[in-house]
Structure 1
Amino acid sequence: MRTASRFILVLIFLGVVLGGIFGYKFYEFGQMQEQFSQPQPPAIISVTDATTESWQPSIKAVGSVEAINGIEVANEVPGVIESINFESGDAVQSGDILIRLDAAIDEAALRTRRAEAQLAEQEFKRVSDLLPRRAVSQSQYDESKANFDAAQARVNEAEAQLNKKVIRAPFDGNLGIRMVDQGEYIATGTSIVEINMLHPIYVDYTLSEKYLPNVERGFPVAVTVAAVPDQQFEGKVSAINTSVNPETRTVRMRATLDNEDGKLRPGMFATILTGQPTNNEVVTLPRTAISYNTYGNFVFVVEENDKGELVVSRRSVTTGEVRNGRTAVLSGLESGETVVAKGLLRLRAGQRVEIQDKSEQEASE
């Protein structure tokens, strides 16, 4: 009997404990329901209006930045570097001396050739004075003149050889990193330093042959590079290749751009927009006003509900080209409609909103 009564007491105790737990959870659930049933305060948002802009249509392509002149300076003759007259990264003018090679032997050879030429000149003058008096024959005169001409030619040859011991900048440009050291012996054709003319600068790219009728020299181009993502570089089409590549069915194009600040460098990957002669009217929004999603892009449009409250509705849009931080909206939105400008992730369709004061919006930006 005692065992049965103890068992009953344990069951009663467990029932009281479990009942208390379930009762507390039920109370919490009721509180949560009551809280959710309360009207939520509206979300504070910044807004922007869809606007109509006149955009020039363009053909998009990719290409590479190329220097108008760009080479690796090398030596024509071997020798030991006597002096280096530049630092890596210097700007140089055409003709500036970059390095001098040891030229002692060449200078001695030039002095020898000049002495030989001087002797040949004196002999030629002597024979020339004797020829009118018939003291020498015509053949002697011709031989003396040939010897003098040959001696002078050897002087010119020695001077040219000596000049090759001085390596100069072939054109105006900017130097890269020095690749040789003072006192180093360099064989013929050793790379000394890279030099590029950076202003103006080329962008080379290709277009499909179907675009050939739509592109001419002088058409504007806008170029962007990853190194300067927030800046567009303006230029013009300066050359169109005369043939189409039979393998790719593309034609090579070249545009010339100003590059005074030197931000564009040869070898950069570039995105090129080749402008067309007519303009199109497009609806545009700031990029921040559009949520880019794998399943489609969308915006939150601000509207009034039946109660006169401002709410947001999610609307799918088709987007197009992006220019200067604004995106073309090809469909899904009309010009003049008001949309949420940023912070789309914290919103949901049908949510009440309140537009942020304009001064506060400008301050936050």
Structure 2
Amino acid sequence: MAAIRSDSIRANPAVLAPIHLSRRQGYRAQMFARLSLVLLALAAIIGGLAFLKYTQIQKEMAMYSTSPPPPTVSATRVVAKTWEPTLSAVGTVSAVQGVDVSNEVAGQVASIHFSSGAEVEQGELLVQLDDQVDRADLEGLVAAERLAEIKLKRNRTLLRDRAVAQGDVDETTAQLDQARALVKAKQATIDKKQIRAPFAGQLGIRQVDLGQYLAEGAAIVTLVSLDVVYVDYALPERDLSQLQLGQGVRIRVAAHPDRTFDGRIEAISPSLDKRTRNLSIRARFDNPEHLLRPGMFARTTTVLPVEERTLVIPRQAVTFNTYGDSVFLIQEVEGKPKVQRRQIRTGAARDDEVVILQGLAEGDRIVLAGQVKLTNGQEIQIKDEDADKPEAAEPQTQQQP
């Protein structure tokens, strides 16, 4: 009976349907529960990430909403000084007297009477050329001169006795004059074979040797007078009205960088160079120590009349541009220091200072360093405030190098 009942249950669909339905419903419930857990986990992760991002955004917004602190700069004031204007240029040192000593007549070097670099006096013998043949010729010419003198003396005596004609006397007179001229010419040739210093100065490097044959005009040695030198330089046409004879000039040379040499304008060219429109100037300098040498490169400074109470500021404070120079002027706005860009016109510059021609007044406070980070109307902090007080900017005389 049991076997019959079991078989009847398997074979009866009406009995099996509710069982299968309950199993499927349980499986679905389990899948739904698992999916719900996964969705909840994803929601929790997404919510956490969103909260973290929200926190970061809030921090950034808070940071940007807070204004940055004012930039720190150093400041200085516009001061009035006694200023000595100058005109700068470059020039070349040249000798007042300088030549290459040479021979006028050809000959062989018989003796040398100088050393390279020696100091010599005017007329001192430098080189003797061989003159033995010339001296022998001179002796013959002197003998002919004496003979002509004897003939002339005898003919004059005979003329008083009317033993000779006047024409004979005139002929012997001419012969005597010719003999004397030949003697003088030969003596001049002998003298020219003694090469002497044309003026006092310092010799250069010897360029001849003993026994060497010198053609006419051969260079023997350079002779330069160094007690006084010239400096030749040029200035633009616009500076002509500021120049005059006797005006002071200072120079510096590379050989003596820590020393300044003072001189005076000795000559101003009456015409300008057509190509450059520059004016040539020559200044004279005493050179007792022989520190200045011909050919040196010189930085020249022509001194102009002193100007009283000229406004100057450090060059570091100026922003130089092709469209104009400017500074940042410091002004008190609502009790706070703020900057304003101010266009200025600058003049001459010397060392680390520059002249202000327009745009600022004495006592104005300007930014000395830190201009790059500034904009108009920006608030600033000033360091070294004690060094920026007005009493620290009292007028003083410009020290010259």
Which TM bucket (shorter chain)? 0.5 to 0.7
Give the TM-score normalised by the residue count of structure 2. 0.61
Contact 1:319 1:328 in 2 (8 A): no
Distance 1:178 1:284 in 2: 55
* SS of match in other structure, 1:242: strand
Summarize the Cα distance change of 1:137–1:278 in structure 2 as closer, same or farther, 3 Å threshold. same
Distance 2:213 2:317 in 1: 60
Contact 2:95 2:226 in 1 (8 A): yes
Note the alpha carbon deviations across 1:307-344, whole angstroms, 9 max, x for none: xxxxxxxxxxx89544xxx5434469989x9xx9xxxx
Matches within 5 A, 1:83-98: 83-98=111-126
Give the TM-score normalised by the residue count of structure 1. 0.66
Contact 1:77 1:165 in 2 (8 A): yes
* SS of match in other structure, 2:258: strand
Distance 1:281 1:179 in 2: 59
Moved over 4 A (4+): 49-53, 280-285, 289-296, 331-335, 349-352
Matches within 5 A, 1:1-365: 53-281=81-309, 321-322=349-350, 327-330=352-355
Distance 1:129 1:151 in 2: 21
Q: What is the alpha-carbon root mean square deviation over aligned residues?
A: 3.4
1:50 deviates by 10
Identity, % of aligned positions:
39
Distance 1:204 1:330 in 2: 28
Summarize the Cα distance change of 1:184–1:207 in structure 2 as closer, same or farther, 3 Å threshold. same
Q: Name stretches of at least 5 consecutive residues in structure 1 with no aligned partner.
A: 1-48, 297-317, 341-348, 356-365
1:186 deviates by 1.4
1:294 deviates by 11
1:182 deviates by 1.4
Larger Rg computed on CA atoms: 2
1:230 deviates by 1.3
Note the alpha carbon deviations across 1:85-135, whole angstroms, 9 max, x for none: 111111111101111011111111111111111111111111122222211
1:219 deviates by 0.6
Q: How many residues in Structure 1 have an aligned counterpart in Structure 2?
A: 274
Summarize the Cα distance change of 1:50–1:132 in structure 2 as closer, same or farther, 3 Å threshold. farther
Distance 2:361 2:208 in 1: 62
Q: Name stretches of at least 5 consecutive residues in structure 2 with no aligned partner.
A: 1-76, 322-345, 369-380, 388-401
Distance 2:142 2:297 in 1: 55
Contact 1:319 1:327 in 2 (8 A): no
Aligned to 1:3: none
